[in-house]
Structure 1
Amino acid sequence: MPPRILIVGGSIGGLFAAVLLHRAGFDVRVTERSVHGLEGRGAGLVAQREVFDILREVGVEHLAHVGVTAHERIYLDQAGAIIHRQRTPQTQLSWDVLFRTFRHLLPDERYHIDRQAVSVAQEPSGARVTYSDGTEERADLVIGADGVGSTLRSAVAGPKSRPTYVGYATWRGLVPEAEVPVSAAGQLFDRFAFYEMPGSHILGYLVPGPDGSTTAGRRRYNWVWYRRYTPDELDGVLTDVDGVRRPFSLAPGRVRPDVAAAMKSDAARLLPPAFAAVVAAESRPFLHAIFDYAPPQMVSGRVALMGDAAFVARPHTAMGVAKAAGDAFALRDALTHTPDMDAALAAYAAERAPVGAAIVAYGQRLGGSLG
């Protein structure tokens, strides 16, 4: 019988690994803690080589052309004048379409939502995951693909293996194209726009609609505003509408109205008019605190980490999805080319650990003026 592989975490990275390993003949199962699934939660992504490689590998290379192209980069001053421009066309693919495609490539019986892992324990020639409902699952290999707040990380990297807050967070919005004021649309659409100020910057660009549509009128405007927060200030903005302090992020609809209103007031005072307008147009802004993390190891026994469960890099790199794709390829290749699983996992870690460390360091350099 083929080895049984359990992947904890069913977002893009976990799906990349699951599809590649399933096609290679492994007995793969994915568990995801989300109760309602992850579709519809993504925006746009800038694809790197590894993403194009995995699209080609599974026969959906046409998705590389399903995106919105920004024909140039522009930099604004606070008054809204364009002070610099670069003719660097760039296409933003749809996270939703990518997720939906890979989810459909994995049989339904191998993907299970509403399964929150709470711990993992090593066993002879395998590992056992315990879920919040008290049930357990054993596998020959458990892969932690459960993101920045990984539950499985401590089993590999130790109990103190938590990402480090770097001093700033991102406010984000995804505004339906039709809701963007005409004056802002005229300046921002079909461009990658930036505004920089001391300790902060904002950027924005069009992305496909939630259904993957790139038709004018059905797209969304994605804006990302980097802002500094002290740890005490972060506690305040990450306390949600129920009064619960969340560790990493707040999803749309979870930001307290007073916090969102204060952020929009700051936008009106600090940002160029077009950016202030798109921030004001977002009815449900969301928030991500930014973290760094590089683990001392990616594998322990029969538990392996991948994606953001392993290395947490700042979003300036635009390499999160590419990093996950690279990890998925390396896992598949190691497990198919090396019959001994322990040797295969060692080969996987030896290949990917230097890559992950380099990406984290790159993000630190790019974010040096903010953190």
Structure 2
Amino acid sequence: MRIVIAGGSVGGLFAAELLRRAGHDVTIYERSSSGLEGRGAGLVAQQEVFAMLREAGVEHVARFGVEARERIVLDRAGAVVHRQATPQTQLSWDRLFRVFRERVPEGGYVGGRAVTGVTQEARQAVVQFADGGREAAELVIAADGLGSTLREVVAGPGSQPAYAGYVAWRGLVPETAVPAVAAVVLFERFAFYDMPGAQALGYLVAGPDGAVEPGRRRYNWVWYRRYTPEQLVEVLTDVDGQPHDFSLAPGQMRPEAADALRADAARLLPPAFAAAVTAEPRPFVQAIFDYAAPRLVAGRLVLIGDAAFVARPHTAMGVAKVAGDAFALRDALAGAGELPAALAAFERERLEHGRAVVAYGRRLGASLG
């Protein structure tokens, strides 16, 4: 089939890899013109991700991770009040993205071209672009994430993620920039600090080039904090005074907001976490949302990844979830003769799974939202 994928992050890349290998003609269209590398940190590679690496013949990517030997919980003074030996390895999102992006044949990945809509006819769907262009395909896959422009075509008007009541402030600090007094507490482990309505956590991840050697890694910290919907508008207003719907990228935060964040960290967090926050010159923020689609298919259009189900990051299942979607779609298309039957089979398999992951995320974040 001729297949168009809207969205060029890892979900779109996973689907393209599997469907191209199955013999389909696939083109990815990504709205961003500046590229997506550098937007990820570490990810917990669950079985679906390892299966994807095996399928693509790039299992070596799994060797480029950073291991956290244990989990610790700090008190406000910075003392370790709980310790548990739970070794866990984080892969580099950037490296995963780069490996699969490089596998796309020339012309198969088009950046800076946003898909804005889809119309459908008996034998094809017609994709519409922001530049006024149109393209016909036999199948259109919406892998365009949290702010999907195609979700409503499938799920109906008003099908938007619901704000969960809190945000994740984040930083990715070169490990050499973290003061030694903080590094000795935080490095080589998952560290947590809990307070009413908030949680801070952090761990080492690969460097921007995928390096995992000591001295070349980054410290990834996350600080979950509550904000009312009215306060969220201010939080997501950028340095130019423009409001954003979901997040601010590094460099977009207003200097006074970053200064306030650092002051709050010194006042509220254990010293090691406060030092890590202060060491980040360009903090960024993402609001936390929930969404579960009532359906995944409309004619020749199918939703995968965060376009279909938005689960809170506490689940650590975002990349695994979209890898599972890609496998299920590939298998459904191979196993049924007619497209409607194949897409119905895909929907039956992934609908309940997605709902369960979203519900799990709500439970994990119940004390924060």
Specify the TM-score bucket, using the shorter chain as the normaliser: over 0.9
Structure 1: distance between partners of 2:295 and 2:35 = 30
Determine if contact 1:317/1:363 at 8 Å carries over to the other structure. Answer: yes
TM-score, scaled to structure 2: 0.99
Tell me what 1:213 maps to: 211
CA distance in 2, matches of 1:81, 1:335: 54
- Structure-to-structure mapping, 1:195-274, within 5 angstroms: 195-274=193-272
Q: Residue 153 of structure 1 is aligned with which of 151, 154, 161? A: 151
Q: Which moved more, 1:253-262 or 1:79-88?
A: 253-262
Q: Is the 8 A contact 1:74 1:82 kept in 2?
A: yes
How far apart are the structure 1 equivalents of 2:107 and 2:199?
Answer: 44
1:279 is matched with which residue? 277
Aligned to 2:187: 189
Q: What is the CA–CA distance in structure 1 between the aligned matches of 2:136 and 2:244, rounded to whole Å?
A: 30
**Equivalent residues of 1:7, 1:14 under 8 A apart:** yes
4+ residue runs over 3 A deviation: none
How far did 1:125 drift? 2.2
Deviations 1:138-186 (A, max 9, x none): 1101000000000010100011100000100000000011111111111
Does the 8 Å contact 1:68/1:208 carry over to 2? yes
Contact 1:44–1:207 (8 Å) recurs in 2: yes
1:264 Cα shift?
A: 1.1
For residues 90 and 298 of structure 2, the distance between their equivalents in structure 1, rounded to whole angstroms, comes to 36
Which amino acid in the other structure matches residue 366 of structure 2?
G
Pairwise CA distance, 1:41: 1.8
The letter for the 2-side match of 1:116 is A
> Residue type matched to 2:257 in 1?
V
| Matching residue within 116, 120, 131 for 1:118 | 116
SS of equivalent residue, structure 1 residue 216: coil
Q: CA–CA distance in 1 between the matches of 2:77 and 2:24?
A: 57
Instruction: Tell me the distance in 2 between the aligned counterparts of 1:241 and 1:178.
Output: 28
Write the distance in 2 (CA, Å) between the matches of 1:279 and 1:267. Answer: 7
In the alignment, structure 1 segments of 5+ residues that lack a partner are none
> Which residue type is aligned with residue 64 of structure 1?
A
Unaligned runs of 5+ in 2: none
1:49-64 to 2 correspondences below 5 Å: 49-64=47-62
**For residue 321 of structure 1, what is the amino acid of its counterpart?**
V
TM-score (norm 1): 0.99
SS at match of 1:109: coil
On the 8 A contact 1:307/1:323 being kept in 2, the answer is yes
**What is the count of residue pairs matched by the alignment?**
369
Shift of 1:57: 1.0
Residues 121, 155 of structure 1: 8 Å contact kept: no
Aligned pairs for 1:4-83 (under 5 A) are 4-83=2-81
* CA–CA distance in structure 1, aligned partners of residues 123 and 186 of structure 2: 55
Counterparts of 1:285 and 1:128 in 2: how far apart (Å)? Answer: 40
Deviation at 1:132, TM superposition (A): 1.1
Cα root mean square deviation, aligned: 0.7
Q: Deviations over 1:170-220 (max 9, x none)?
A: 000000111111111111000100000000001000000011100111000
Structure 1 partner of 2:138: 140
Q: Which residue of 2 aligns with 1:328?
A: 326
Cα offset for 1:241?
1.1
AA of the residue aligned to 2:172: L
- By how many angstroms is 1:345 displaced? 0.5
Counterpart in the other structure of 1:305: 303
Q: Contact 1:45–1:94 (CA<8 Å) still a contact in 2? A: yes
Once the two structures are superposed, residues 44-99 of structure 1 have per-residue CA deviations (whole angstroms, 9 ceiling, x without a partner) of 10111101111111111121121000000000000000000000000010001100
Kindly provide the CA deviation profile for residues 250-270 of structure 1, in whole angstroms up to 9, marking residues without a partner as x.
000001111111111111100
